[in-house]
Amino acid sequence: MSANPSPWNRRGFVRSAVAGTALFPAILSELMAEEDKARSSSDPLAAKPPHFAARAKNVIFLFMSGGVSHVDSFDPKPRLFADHGKQVTLDHPETRNRPGYEKLFLKRPQWDFAKHGKCGTEVSTLFPHMAGCVDDLAVIRSMYADHSNHYNATLGMHTGSFNQARPSIGSWVSYGLGTTNRNLPSFMVIAPQSPYAGGQVWASDFLPGSHQGTLVTPGPEPMRNIRPLIGSTQQRRELDALAELNGDHLARSGHAPELEARIRSFETAFGMQTAAPDAFDLSKETDETHALYGLERGSTKGFAWQCLAARRLVERGVRFVELIDVGASNNWDAHGDMISQHAPLAKNVDKPIAGLIQDLKRRGLLDETLVVWTTEFGRTPFNNTAEAKGREHHPWAFASWLAGAKVKGGSVYGTTDDHGIRVASDGVHVHDLHATILHLMGLDHTRLTYRHAGRDYRLTDVEGKVVRPLIG
């Protein structure tokens, strides 16, 4: 799965080891054929086999922008209730040398917790509908990240790099596996507006441009200029003529990945004019399905629309679909008031996400679709006064969960300390989450590399481990 291999590659090694002998001629021939096929492929979106048997064919990545409080959602802390108001001493990045934060006090959760499902996983009343799905969820209570700034943490959660732009995880999955539906992009992002870090969240960076995420904006026209202005026969004739001219230009230009990507984009756009309007035509869904997601018939906005559209996209073979929950005026960044911010945002996403899981399950799609719910970091279990209404950024600990792809539903992995301040056991870094997602897609994160600027890059940099207890 690496690109632009150096002269000392598998071909050179095998030739050196066995060429000129009578040993393993069939192996040598087969490896050379594989290498030739990989080198001659001029179509980066062609479907590729995984490194090993995959658990999932598609990913739906649910990103809650702004930082969801773990101690108010998926990480119950009875001691935090009991020790409300107790002073703690911490060298925290969000309070260090900050006027007015010389003293820190524990702050109790704003919502109560209860056990749910056959597994008995505790979830707060903030997410009553997701709580009803816990038997399908593998909850991670020991996530941690490297940065407390929204921009950096959001970039890290999407690209594995907290400090500079790198390819998005959706781009890496597209690069590693290609697509089975050439009429739709392999990586699509549904968001009402850009989150922190903007378009870098879905950018392909140094990977071929065809792997970049395609932005879909909820509304009456989710994708601009998607309906053709001329007949398909005439348009096909024009595209064929353009392809001939572009082919001649490409031949004269030599190997030019950006040019190849642009040429292929014309064909993808042509196919999308047929496939995309159908994919986003939710009028074909039943009233019962609309009710399952909490979507009013005819509505083209809100997270419910995003979730139902995502199900229709993975049905049509889109490899990676990200849904970003970011409001027009606010997000989960609840510095001022947890209740006024978290409560309405949770109401907006809770039923649609639960409906998505149930809908995928009843259609037989959940086993082959990995659903990931995450945020960029958690929120502090303390503040400068115990009665403060909000919470600050907290990269030391937060919660995420996985569903589908035959993950170990009804399980909880990792713990934080008694107050939810730090990871206590089985920590899961962002690199580990990425490694696990790739593994479930049949990709070895250490082998999924791309040669750029003189070195091999990968999503997980030089770290990351697969969290195998999550895998059923």
Q: Which domains does the chain have, with CATH numbers?
A: 1-40 (no CATH), 45-223+280-470 (3.40.720.10)
Question: What would the two tokens of residue 359 be?
Answer: 């809908």
Q: For residues 393 and 67, is the Cβ–Cβ distance under 8 A?
A: yes
State residue 4's pLDDT score.
47
Closest CA to 434 of 426, 425, 445: 445
Residue 48 banded pLDDT, cuts 50, 70, 90: very high
Residue holding tokens 């658990």?
55
Closest CA to 436 of 398, 396, 461, 470: 470
pLDDT, tens digit, 9 for 90 and up, residues 295-336: 999 999 999 999 999 999 999 999 999 999 986 557 999 999
State residue 248's pLDDT score.
72
State residue 107's pLDDT score.
98
- Give helix 169-177 / helix 430-440 axis angle, nearest 10°: 30
Mean pLDDT of 91-109: 97
pLDDT, tens digit, 9 for 90 and up, residues 451-469: 999 999 999 999 999 999 9
Q: For residues 424 and 415, is the Cβ–Cβ distance under 8 A?
A: yes
Mean pLDDT of 32-52: 66
How far apart CA 15 and CA 9 sit, in angstroms, is 10
Mean pLDDT of 218-229: 79
375 has which bridge partners?
64
- Of residues 345 and 2, the one with the higher pLDDT is 345
Question: What would the two tokens of residue 447 be?
Answer: 């082998």
Strands 137-144 and 398-404: antiparallel
pLDDT, tens digit, 9 for 90 and up, residues 395-408: 999 999 999 999 99
428 has which bridge partners?
143
- Give helix 25-40 / helix 10-18 axis angle, nearest 10°: 160
Mean pLDDT of 242-267: 70
Residue holding tokens 């922190």?
196
Lowest mean pLDDT among 35-44, 102-111, 303-312, 336-345: 35-44
Name residues whose C-beta falls within 8 Å of residue 45's C-beta, 6 or more positions apart in sequence: 174, 178, 179, 182, 186, 210, 211, 264, 268
How far apart CA 137 and CA 119 sit, in angstroms, is 10
Please return the burial class of 137, using the count of CB atoms within 10 Å of its CB with bins 0-12, 13-18 and 19+: buried
State residue 265's pLDDT score.
66
Indicate if the pLDDT at residue 36 is higher than 50: no
Name residues whose C-beta falls within 8 Å of residue 104's C-beta, 6 or more positions apart in sequence: 87, 88, 89, 90, 92, 95, 382, 383, 384
State residue 13's pLDDT score.
39
Mean pLDDT of 31-54: 68
Name residues whose C-beta falls within 8 Å of residue 365's C-beta, 6 or more positions apart in sequence: 311, 314, 315
Strands 415-416 and 423-425: antiparallel
Mean pLDDT of 49-76: 98
Average pLDDT, rounded, for the chain: 88
According to DSSP H, which parts of 41-82 are helical?
78-82
pLDDT, tens digit, 9 for 90 and up, residues 106-147: 999 999 999 999 999 999 999 999 999 999 999 999 999 999
400 has which bridge partners?
140
pTM: 0.86
Query: Which H/E stretch holds residue 349?
Result: helix 338-362
Query: Which H/E stretch holds residue 259?
Result: helix 257-279
Mean pLDDT of 43-60: 94
How far apart CA 35 and CA 44 sit, in angstroms, is 15
